[in-house]
Structure 1
Amino acid sequence: MSTSSKAWIKPALAAAVIAGAGFAAWMSLNSAPAAPQVTFTGIKGERITPTDLQGKVVIVNFWATSCATCVAEMPEMADTYNRFKGRGLELIAVAMKYDPPNYVVNFTETRQLPFKVALDITGEAAKAYGDVTMTPTTFVIDKNGKIVKRYVGKPEFAALHQLLEKALKG
């Protein structure tokens, strides 16, 4: 091979390296983190496992009965759940470890919350989800088990509903 016939190799190799680096950068920006593989304990002692949630869009909402914003958003969480549950949405409201279990049970029953409510007695779930300390903190997880959105504070429910529409189609 002559030198002139090899002239294309360096530019082609450089282009391939640049394209690969660009793709890697795009993937790192566009790949959502996987949701922690946490087994939740419901208020009646039932276990809610990662296997139970496979293939569903899941909202995990960390809250407390002593959190005014959490209490205020619960009717909208219930409405959101009722609106999307028939299309594959699961919602788990996870009470923080400092929330007395009897308060959580009383709140759940008197408000007739339609979704699963779990107790995080050891704080393991909050720790697994990035050491959640602020309430409410809400995660939206897609059908592939990836966290697609994290809200700290009350979500903007119109935007949340748009996100759920998209996630439930995917």
Structure 2
Amino acid sequence: MYYRFVSLFCICSVYVTGGFAVDGIASDGFQRTSFDSPKQVAEHWDVRNQDGKKIVHSKLKGSPCVIVLFRGHGCYHCVKQLGEIVEVESRFRSRGVRLIAVSDESVEEMGKALRNRPLPFPVLSDVRSKLAKFLGSDKIENWHGILILDSNGKARWLLCGSKPLMDFREVLSQIDSLQLSTTPLETHGLESRVD
């Protein structure tokens, strides 16, 4: 009986979906996904900035990117997470890695929140949760995620769970181990990358 349970647990914990390996949920409550080969997310990218302008995925190319998927500004823990990211955003910039936060709240809700509390990195709206669906969730509101893209805009690593990540050392370590660091960035901004 014990052997059957362990076998079933192992089968459920590690599986392959859509060409990438998904590890089971770790004891810290997060699931980590290492992509066997980088996966293009362009067809699953449908985001707008706080002015309602569409941000084209191809404009992200040129530097690695960390995308923080969060539930929106109405989530206390998500807002706290955004504050934690502000504290370490310079570590991403010094590695040449752009930070972007994405939620499924409306452009209007997002714009109102950002007027009251501007952030040093872009915050974008994906109202149809296209990226979250590609990554395995029905909607962004169902979980939190950290996605690392390489300089070609392809997914390399994902961490997700029911709670937001508050310590970004593992993400920075993944960036280093994937050798994604490039020339330091002055800003995370996408102003010149809007269509």
TM-score (norm 2): 0.60
> Post-superposition shift, 1:94?
1.3
- CA–CA distance in 2 between the matches of 1:89 and 1:70? 21
- What amino acid is the match of 2:125? L
The alignment status of 1:154 with 2:172, answered yes or no, reads no
Q: 1:57 aligns with which of 53, 64, 75?
A: 64
> Post-superposition shift, 1:100?
4.3
1:91 counterpart residue number: 99
| Mapping 1:110-125, distance limit 5 Å | 110-125=116-131
Say which SS state the counterpart of residue 82 (structure 2) adopts: helix
2:148 counterpart residue number: 140
Is the 1:35–1:147 contact (alpha carbons within 8 Å) kept by the matching residues of 2?
no
2:13 counterpart residue number: none
Structure with greater proportional strand content: 2
> Post-superposition shift, 1:129?
3.3
| Mapping 1:101-116, distance limit 5 Å | 101-116=107-122
Report the structure number with the largest CA radius of gyration. 1
> Post-superposition shift, 1:86?
4.5
Is the 2:52–2:107 contact (alpha carbons within 8 Å) kept by the matching residues of 1?
no
The gaps in structure 1 that reach 5 residues or longer are: 1-27
- With over 3 angstroms needed to count, the CA separation of the structure-2 counterparts of 1:136 and 1:68, relative to structure 1, is farther
- CA–CA distance in 2 between the matches of 1:87 and 1:76? 18
- CA–CA distance in 1 between the matches of 2:55 and 2:82? 20
> Post-superposition shift, 1:125?
3.3
Is the 1:67–1:135 contact (alpha carbons within 8 Å) kept by the matching residues of 2?
no
CA RMSD of aligned residues (A): 2.7
| Mapping 1:24-39, distance limit 5 Å | 31-37=36-42, 38-39=45-46
Q: 1:72 aligns with which of 33, 55, 80?
A: 80
- With over 3 angstroms needed to count, the CA separation of the structure-2 counterparts of 1:102 and 1:46, relative to structure 1, is closer
Is the 1:137–1:151 contact (alpha carbons within 8 Å) kept by the matching residues of 2?
yes
TM-score (norm 1): 0.68
Structure with greater proportional helix content: 1
The range that moved more, 62-71 or 151-160, is 151-160
- CA–CA distance in 2 between the matches of 1:108 and 1:70? 14
2:24 counterpart residue number: none
Deviations 1:67-91 (A, max 9, x none): 2221110012223333322432122
